[in-house]
Amino acid sequence: MKYLRQLPFILIFTFLSGCIAVNADLPEIKSVTTDKGHDVYYIPLETETVTIHAAFKNDYIFTEGANPVVPHIGLQLIQQAGAGDIEPATLLSEFEDLGADAQLHARPDAIHGKLVADVADIEAAAKLANQVLTDSTLDERWFRRVAGNLVEKAGLDRNHSGVLGWSAMRKLSFDPMVARFWSASFADTQAVELDQVKDWYQQSFNAGDAIIVLSGPKDMASGLRAVDILLDQLDQKQPRAVTVEQEPFVPVAKTILIENSAANDALVLLFDHVKGEARRREFETYFTAYELGATSESRLHRKLRDELRAAYEVFTQFADFDRQVRLLAMGGQVSPDQAVAALRLASETYDNYREQGMDQSGFDQVKKVYVDHFEDILNEDSLPPNLVLEALLEGHEVEFVNSLLPTVRGMNLMTHNEFSAAHLSPSDQLLRIIVAPDIDAIELDVDCRVKQPEQLAECV
């Protein structure tokens, strides 16, 4: 199940919008208001563990003068610095003593958080987490340490072919602020100042913009009190108004060579934009990604590794960047002298799948992987709160998760193959990128050759 655990579950919900079948065996999802007036969704389970998932709406990167890397640095800083009168090491040890797991991560439109602890400790853990969100010390010393580590990483990434290839795709197709958010370039990272982090912190984690889903014991009292403790004083956070309108994603159908003189190998990348009907039926593309590159027996592995004997690594990924942009990404790491052959063979393999689809045996194997996985996590004893949270963020009702497992069970070969033929773009309409040590040595008809980062603008 390693491949499935890596899949962003956000993608499953748009596909289900036309389904009516439901899984009646799932635990009930209760809509509850806490004593302090916070509306939450609670999933009662036979458990002594409380798991709180929260999404705080956050449009910081679209506010005036924002550096899109600030949320990345800010979240690392508040998770490593002290809070109130608690020193950093003490704060960490107090979480550990409670056996609590606390995590934060940023997306372009929200900050996501998770807090997990035993029911006897969840209120104490929520009090610590609240101090992190309301009274982080944000001191200069810890800022320099966190920012310095990220600047160092961004500097090293400039010589990483994967970073160069994916960043190029984002710059060509994404809204500029979203591209900068995901790429976290050396220049942007180096430019972040502590005052910017403090400004971001003051307008983040507003309680009124939070969506909360939690699971816990059937006695909801401790879990609901923990939510009130967690959100205490967060209504005082004041997000600034959005001043920058997000630009739409623009698919680019080009073949591009990018030089990375620091590399020893070449990287071949292919990107297809999931749009229209495909955007509403994304589970079909999950099956495609699995069949093309998820296992050592997948099509791209067999072609690039076994037949061409060119690939050191092969992958497919259903990449989720925001609520509008999802991509099917494919590629592999190959020797530079086989980069052209690998690109052609990967394109042919993809086109063959698009035109002919799977046979019944192959489809049944892929379907079984997904059915087994979701039967494991969606049953009368299990309903992960993050799945409910993602459904809400996609604009659905909480009951929508009941359609997930029946939908996977109901998928069939004929409609999948029809979908692939109709909605996957031909390979000559994909963005195809080769990153290699010496692009002058590559004989290939391409749309542009990039030796310096600023030359990428000429590819538009």
The tens digit of pLDDT for each residue in 13-41 reads 434 434 434 555 789 999 999 999 999 99
Which residues form the domain of 348?
Answer: 255-459
pLDDT band for position 2 (50/70/90)?
very low
Domain count, the chain: 2
- Give yes or no: residues 404 and 261 share one domain: yes
- Give yes or no: residues 100 and 213 share one domain: yes
Domain presence at residue 342: yes
- Give yes or no: residues 212 and 267 share one domain: no
Domain presence at residue 9: no
Which CATH number fits the domain that encloses residue 353?
A: 3.30.830.10
Helix 161-173 / helix 176-183 crossing angle, nearest 10 deg: 170
- Give yes or no: residues 220 and 273 share one domain: no
Domain presence at residue 245: no
The tens digit of pLDDT for each residue in 326-358 reads 899 999 999 999 999 999 999 999 999 999 999
Domain presence at residue 15: no
Cβ-in-10-Å burial (0-12, 13-18, 19+) of 454 comes to exposed
pLDDT, residue 197, reads 98
- Give yes or no: residues 167 and 305 share one domain: no
- Give yes or no: residues 232 and 84 share one domain: yes
The tens digit of pLDDT for each residue in 61-101 reads 999 999 999 999 999 999 999 999 999 999 999 999 999 99
Domain presence at residue 248: no
User: Taken in order 112, 116, 120, 121, is the CA torsion positive or negative?
Assistant: negative
The tens digit of pLDDT for each residue in 263-286 reads 999 999 999 988 766 666 778 989
Asked if residues 14 and 280 have their Cβ atoms less than 8 Å apart, the reply is yes
Phi then psi for residue 434, to 5 deg, are -120, 125
The tens digit of pLDDT for each residue in 142-171 reads 999 999 999 999 999 999 999 999 999 999
Among the candidates 189, 206, 236, a domain finishes at 236
Domain presence at residue 358: yes
pLDDT, residue 325, reads 81
Mean of the pLDDT values across residues 173-199? 95
- Give yes or no: residues 268 and 140 share one domain: no
The tens digit of pLDDT for each residue in 356-407 reads 999 999 999 999 999 999 899 988 888 999 999 998 998 889 888 998 899 8
pLDDT, residue 9, reads 41
pTM above 0.75, yes or no: yes
Mean of the pLDDT values across residues 49-64? 95
- Give yes or no: residues 221 and 317 share one domain: no
- Give yes or no: residues 290 and 228 share one domain: no
Domain presence at residue 352: yes
- Give yes or no: residues 225 and 283 share one domain: no
- Give yes or no: residues 351 and 202 share one domain: no
Among the candidates 207, 236, 265, a domain finishes at 236
Using DSSP bridges, classify how beta strands 326-334 and 311-320 pair: parallel, antiparallel or unpaired. Answer: antiparallel
Among the candidates 206, 236, 266, a domain finishes at 236
pLDDT, residue 239, reads 85
- Give yes or no: residues 261 and 211 share one domain: no
pLDDT, residue 249, reads 85
Domain presence at residue 307: yes
